[in-house]
Structure 1
Amino acid sequence: MDILTLVEGIGESPTTALFGLLTGLIFGVSAQRSQFCLRAATVEFARGRLGPKVAVWFLTLSTAIVWVQGAQLMGLFREADARVMAVPGSWSGAIIGGLMFGAGMVMSRGCSGRLLVLASTGNLRSVVSGLIFAVTAQMSLHGILSPYRDRLASLSITGSENVNLLNALHLPSGSGLALGLAFAALALFLAVKNQIGPKTWIFASGVGFAVAVGWYLTWQLAQVAFDPVPVSSVTFSGPSANTLMFFLDRNAVLEFDVGLVPGVVIGAFATSMIAGEFRWQSFDSVPVMRRSMIGAVLMGFGAMLAGGCAIGNGVTGSSVFAATAWLALFCMWIGAIATTLLIDKQADPALAC
Structure 2
Amino acid sequence: MDTARLLERAGEPVVLATGGLVIGALFGFFAQRSRFCLRAAVVEFWRGQPGEKLAVWLLAFSAAVVGVQALSLAGWMDASQARQIAARGSLSGALIGGLIFGAGMILTRGCASRLLVLSANGNLRALLSGLIFAVTAQASLSGALAPLRLHISQWWVVEGGAPRDLLAVTGAGHWGGLAFGIVWLAAAIWFGRRSHGTAWKWWGGLGTGLAIAAGWWFTWLVSASSFQVVPVQGLTFSGPSAEWLMRVLSSPAPAMGFDFGLLPGVVLGSFLGALLGGDWKLEGFGDGYSMRRYIAGAVLMGFGAMLAGGCAVGAGVTGGAVFALTAWLSLSGMWAGAGLADWLMDRPRRPVPSTGQQTAGVSAMAP
Query: TM class by shorter-chain length?
Result: over 0.9
Q: 1:99-138 alignment to 2 at 5 Å?
A: 99-138=99-138
Identify the residue that residue 334 of structure 2 maps to in structure 1. Answer: 332
| 1:266 aligns with one of 244, 265, 268 | 268
Identify the residue that residue 366 of structure 2 maps to in structure 1. Answer: 351
Distance 1:172 1:225 in 2: 27
Alignment of 1:290 with 2:295, yes or no, is no
Distance 2:347 2:243 in 1: 35
Distance 1:177 1:349 in 2: 35
The Cα of 1:172 is off from its aligned counterpart by: 4.3
Q: 1:29-68 alignment to 2 at 5 Å?
A: 29-68=29-68
The Cα of 1:250 is off from its aligned counterpart by: 3.5
Gaps of 5+ in 1: none
Q: What secondary structure sits across from 1:228 in the alignment?
A: coil
Q: 1:250-265 alignment to 2 at 5 Å?
A: 250-252=251-253, 253-265=255-267
The Cα of 1:203 is off from its aligned counterpart by: 0.9
Identify the residue that residue 199 of structure 1 maps to in structure 2. Answer: 200
| TM, length-normalised to structure 1 | 0.97
Distance 2:47 2:197 in 1: 20
The Cα of 1:226 is off from its aligned counterpart by: 2.4
The Cα of 1:350 is off from its aligned counterpart by: 3.8
Distance 1:61 1:88 in 2: 25
The Cα of 1:243 is off from its aligned counterpart by: 1.6
Instruction: Give a deviation string over 1:2-32, Cα, whole Å, max 9, x none.
Output: 2222211211111111111111011000000
Identify the residue that residue 16 of structure 2 maps to in structure 1. Answer: 16
Identify the residue that residue 185 of structure 2 maps to in structure 1. Answer: 184
Structure 1 vs Structure 2 CA RMSD: 1.2
Kindly provide the amino acid, as one letter, of the partner of residue 180 in structure 1.
G
Contact kept, 8 Å, 2:69 with 2:174, in 1: the verdict is no
Q: What secondary structure sits across from 1:60 in the alignment?
A: helix
Instruction: Give a deviation string over 1:139-180, Cα, whole Å, max 9, x none.
Output: 101111111101100110002446111211122440000000
Kindly provide the amino acid, as one letter, of the partner of residue 32 in structure 2.
Q
Identify the residue that residue 310 of structure 1 maps to in structure 2. Answer: 312
Identify the residue that residue 231 of structure 1 maps to in structure 2. Answer: 232
The Cα of 1:72 is off from its aligned counterpart by: 0.2
Kindly provide the amino acid, as one letter, of the partner of residue 332 in structure 1.
M
Kindly provide the amino acid, as one letter, of the partner of residue 152 in structure 1.
I
The Cα of 1:248 is off from its aligned counterpart by: 2.4
Alignment of 1:217 with 2:218, yes or no, is yes
Distance 1:186 1:268 in 2: 27
Kindly provide the amino acid, as one letter, of the partner of residue 106 in structure 1.
I
Distance 1:350 1:155 in 2: 35
Instruction: Give a deviation string over 1:164-219, Cα, whole Å, max 9, x none.
Output: 11211122440000000000000000000111122211111111011111000100
Identify the residue that residue 353 of structure 2 maps to in structure 1. Answer: none
Q: What secondary structure sits across from 2:231 in the alignment?
A: coil
Contact kept, 8 Å, 2:43 with 2:339, in 1: the verdict is yes
Alignment of 1:85 with 2:85, yes or no, is yes
Contact kept, 8 Å, 1:40 with 1:349, in 2: the verdict is no
Contact kept, 8 Å, 1:120 with 1:266, in 2: the verdict is yes
Kindly provide the amino acid, as one letter, of the partner of residue 193 in structure 1.
R
Greater shift in the superposed pair: 45-54 or 67-76: 45-54
